[in-house]
Amino acid sequence: MAELTLQKRAPEAEALRALSERLGDPDWLRRLRRQAFEALDGLPFPQPRSRRLDLDWRAFEVLLPEEAPRMEGRRARLQLRNGVPVAEGGAELPEGVVVLDLETALERMPDLLERYLHQAVRFDTDQMTALNAAFRMGGVIIYVPEGVEVSEPIVLQQELTESGVAFFPYTLLIAAPGSRLTVIDELGGPTLDRPALTSGVVELYAESGSVVQYVAVQRWGSHVVDFTTRALHARRDAAVRWVNVSLGARLSRAVIRAHLLEPGVAADLLGLYIVDGDRYIEHDTLQDHIAPHTTSDLLYKGVLRDSALSVYSGLIRVHHGAQRSNAYQANRNLLLSRQARADSIPMLEIEANDVRCTHGASLGPVDEEHLFYLMARGLSRSEAEHLIVLGFLQEVLERIPVERVREEILEDLEAILFPAG
Amino acid sequence: MEETKVLETLRDDYAERYGFRDEATYLYETPRGLSRRVVEEISAIKNEPEWMRQFRLRAYEIFLKKPMPTWGADLSGVDFDRIVYYARPTDRPARSWDEVPEYIKRTFERLGIPEAERKFLAGVEAQYDSESVYSNVREDLARMGVIFCSTDEAVQKYPDLVREYIGTVVSIADNKFAALNSAVWSGGTFIYVPPGVRVEYPLQAYFRINREAMGQFERTLIIADEGAFVHYVEGCTAPIYTEDSLHAAVVEIIVKRGARVRYTTIQNWSNNVYNLVTKRAFAYEEATMEWVDCNIGSKVTMKYPAVYLLGRGAHGEVLSMAFAGDGQHQDTGAKMIHRAPYTTSLVQSKSISKGTGRASYRGLLKVYPGAEHVKANVSCDALLLHDVSRTDTYPTMEIQEQNVHIGHEATVSKVGDEQIFYLMSRGLSEEEAITMIVNGFIEPIVKELPMEYAVEMNRLIALEMEGSVG
């Protein structure tokens, strides 16, 4: 594996040019980067709802790779460190399926990228998406051709091992018509001393009749302030299960938008978050029913301890003419300490009448009666609480597709919630 | 679709039943628009004590500074310069119906007020534009110390009580429209119920806007002393004009320890009224506050009755029903603010959107740190009748205490084909079937209304559907 030296630069126009130069961007991508950079100052900063953040992205340095090893893009596992691909492995993928870092992909399939890049998440959504579009390097594309079924789960491991930097992970998933795949996108890294900023973008394109399972697991170190914007474009009869697991970061604000563009789409939207200390997690979801006969089912569950704070804000929007839409939304929070707090803002905007929509939100402590029941069976209070927390999360956990991923999440939540035991 | 035709005529008879106007002559009215001078004139005409004049002037300054709300309904049509802020039809409120001027009497007789009073009310107050024209309470209640009069009268007769409480629940700086009301308020109801007194029959007020481009700014203040009970019912109608009117009321309620207040509103303004109302109650230990809020009329309503649960064991309820017809926006909801332990609250909202109508539920549920063992539940159901109808739900929850149980649910649906089919297979016509379904939908709210109002509400919702299928 090639040795990497990382050069840090302030995110200015020259750095941008240098980045394009180094990465060998095609003209259209250079243009896009420049546009995004120029738009930056005019765009809103996505301020977290319940924790004021004064953040100047110029205070962070941008990572520039000296040299990146070439990937084949034929394996089910791809590893990136600080935006640079470092290893690939795992099972051989079926013919035509590609799992590649963006730079290599730009050489091999520029037209495909030009067609999809920043369609679902527009670069001018806010300052953070613009930063990503301007200074992104690395990033991953997964492409599955028409009718191809990938039986092995594809695993992306994106790691950040630097502090004092701004980092822009990016995942592009294109499931061509009738294809099937499962993707596990793991973002993480050790906790370091100086703060770091991440601004991630994920674009999921589920073309007609595709079956897509996408699981994102966020385990940033607790020095990270994390922004992420993820969007799905789902076409006719696509079936999508999309799981967002948030375990790390000091402050994390995730925007998750599912656009159901054509009839017959079914989207299963799941979320799980575990927050401790004085960390802050915010989820901002949109179930956007543009076409009739579409279904979305959202369940976000969180457990909070210490003086952690979470915000869930979710909107179901049924557009005029999107008849026979079914949309469900539920946010449930379990609070393990008196200082923990969970805000819930579920919203509905319905402009079609032949629809079925419900939403629900709840929060509360561990039920004393449940505790009493288990303790009467001989469990200690902490064992009982432990069991109840697991039971609470089971509903989401059991819908995460890969056994190994489920187990690792379980280990993480044990470590966060019950560190002594 | 057949069923989409149903209900189309609901409120079509508004013009005939409520929309008539009187060629009234006013003893006094201020010129259009608002100025410091208008505020001072209103105070002078009412011969108010200095503290109230100061209260108004302070509020006026705040009104000028406060921005218009940028959220909620579209208020771009509100033109503060076009509005008449004060119009006085009579000298003083009459105590007997015979004293009421003939044309006003005719108005309220057409609306059925004296009849209602004879039948089932403990007291009635009627307000015509800015001033109360009639106010009466049953003698036995008066003997027990129950005060029921217009707020203007209360300022003169019970200045200490009014001064102690006015502006304490809804501060003059609360929002732009509360400031406006505080500056130019006129009329409204003042109720005081002494400790332990239960007023078994409802007290009622009827608000009528008659003049075009009128601003009605009644100020209601209700104090239920320890262990008291009172049920207050208000109704509102107005004629149909081309120029929009503004109704910006402030309602303040103090529910002391162990007392219970129920406040029922049947809002049926004509479709040219902006209805922007601040309603709030303080509920102390073991007290119960219930808002039953029915919004049928107006062009735009923004109203979110609130209960501040300040004492241990206090209970708050909002039962809200909104009907948004063509061109109407009902932006209504509830606020429950839990500041004490063992407090409970319940919000139930039902809305129906018809034609291009838009019904929005907007609410806030807040639990402060230390308010342990709170139980709160919010449920919102919306029924959409046409494919151009719109409904929104924006319930916000800010929970800063862990040891609480909070639940929220919302549903949106239409009148189901299967439900209609089922009922029609039992021999009902389509019209009857839809009527039954809609009535069933709002039943949990309607059953909380006094009998006479429930009948009226069902009549509004149901009988109007006659002949509308086909």
| A75's tokens | 């394996």
CB atoms within 10 A of CB A107: 11
- Please compute the mean of the pLDDT values over residues B326-338 and round it to a whole number: 95
- Number of helices followed by number of strands (H, E) in chain A: 8, 22
Alpha helix locations (H) across B8-150? 14-17, 36-45, 50-65, 102-110, 113-120, 139-143
Neighbouring C-alpha atoms within 13 Å toward the C-beta of B320: 32
Chain B interface, mutation test: which of A339, A348, A369, most B Cβ atoms within 10 Å?
A: A348
Q: In A10-136, which ranges are E strands?
A: 61-65, 75-81, 84-92, 98-101
Please report residues of A whose CB lies closer than 8 A to that of B403: 338, 365
User: What residue in B sits closest to A335 (Cα-Cα)?
Assistant: B402
- One-letter-per-residue 3-state SS of A356-391: EEEEEEEEEECCHHHHHHHHHCCCCHHHHHHHHHHH
Predicted confidence band of residue B4 (pLDDT cuts 50, 70, 90): very low
Partner-chain residue, chosen from B396, B399, B409, that has the shortest CB–CB distance to A341: B399
Q: What pLDDT shows up at residue B9?
A: 58
Maximum average pLDDT range among A288-297, B26-35, B294-303: A288-297
CB atoms within 10 A of CB B338: 30
* Domain that residue B258 falls in: 28-303
Phi/psi class of residue B410: alpha, beta or left (left: φ > 0; alpha: ψ in -120 to 50)?
beta
Q: What pLDDT shows up at residue A31?
A: 92
Listed in sequence order, the residues at least 6 apart from A97 whose beta carbon sits closer than 8 Å to its beta carbon are A74, A142, A143, A144, A145, A148, A150, A181
The answer to the question of residue B335 being in a domain is: no
Predicted confidence band of residue B2 (pLDDT cuts 50, 70, 90): very low
User: What residue in A sits closest to B413 (Cα-Cα)?
Assistant: A356
Residue predicted with more confidence, A12 or B246: B246
Q: How far is B449 from chain A (nearest CA, A)?
A: 27
Predicted confidence band of residue B211 (pLDDT cuts 50, 70, 90): confident
Inform me whether the pLDDT recorded for B467 exceeds 60: no
User: What residue in B sits closest to A50 (Cα-Cα)?
Assistant: B398
- Please compute the mean of the pLDDT values over residues A219-230 and round it to a whole number: 95
Residue predicted with more confidence, B119 or A304: A304
d(CA A302, CA A271): 8
pLDDT in tens, A24-80: 888 999 999 999 999 988 999 999 988 888 888 888 888 776 677 888 899 999 999
In degrees rounded to 5, what are phi and psi of residue B210? -110, -40
Residue predicted with more confidence, A138 or A102: A102
| Amino acid code (one letter) for A180 | R
Bridge partner list, A251:
A225, A280
Q: Do B406 and A345 touch (CB under 8 A)?
A: no
The predicted complex's ipTM stands at 0.73
Inform me whether the pLDDT recorded for B260 exceeds 60: yes
Predicted confidence band of residue B430 (pLDDT cuts 50, 70, 90): confident
The answer to the question of residue B339 being in a domain is: no
User: What residue in A sits closest to B353 (Cα-Cα)?
Assistant: A353
- Please compute the mean of the pLDDT values over residues A392-401 and round it to a whole number: 94
What SS3 state is found at A32? helix
Predicted confidence band of residue A1 (pLDDT cuts 50, 70, 90): very low
- Please compute the mean of the pLDDT values over residues B108-132 and round it to a whole number: 75
Partner-chain residue, chosen from A341, A345, A349, that has the shortest CB–CB distance to B400: A341
- The count of domains in chain B is 1
Cβ-Cβ contacts under 8 Å between A and B: the total is 107
Residue predicted with more confidence, B358 or B25: B358
Please report residues of A whose CB lies closer than 8 A to that of B389: 351, 353
The answer to the question of residue B352 being in a domain is: no
- Percent of residues, chain A, with pLDDT higher than 70: 96
Predicted confidence band of residue B3 (pLDDT cuts 50, 70, 90): very low
Inform me whether the pLDDT recorded for B262 exceeds 90: yes
Closest CA to A118 of A59, A168, A181: A168
Which helix (DSSP H) or strand (DSSP E) does residue B446 occupy?
Answer: helix B430-446
To 5 degrees, how large is the angle CA B205–CA B210–CA B213? 120
Tokens 């309603």 found at = B279
Predicted confidence band of residue B461 (pLDDT cuts 50, 70, 90): low
Phi/psi class of residue A344: alpha, beta or left (left: φ > 0; alpha: ψ in -120 to 50)?
beta
Distances (CA, A) of A283 to A168, A229, A273, B231: 19, 10, 9, 43
The answer to the question of residue B48 being in a domain is: yes
pLDDT in tens, A113-136: 999 999 999 999 999 999 999 998
The answer to the question of residue B288 being in a domain is: yes
Neighbouring C-alpha atoms within 13 Å toward the C-beta of A255: 20
Q: Do B392 and A349 touch (CB under 8 A)?
A: yes
- Please compute the mean of the pLDDT values over residues B354-375 and round it to a whole number: 92
The answer to the question of residue B320 being in a domain is: no
Please report residues of A whose CB lies closer than 8 A to that of B413: 355-357
Q: What pLDDT shows up at residue A12?
A: 66
The answer to the question of residue B205 being in a domain is: yes
Lowest mean pLDDT among A131-145, A377-391, A403-417, B134-148: B134-148
- Please compute the mean of the pLDDT values over residues B263-276 and round it to a whole number: 90
The answer to the question of residue B453 being in a domain is: no
Structural domain boundaries in chain A: 6-262
Cβ–Cβ contact B389 with A under 8 A: yes
- Please compute the mean of the pLDDT values over residues A142-154 and round it to a whole number: 96
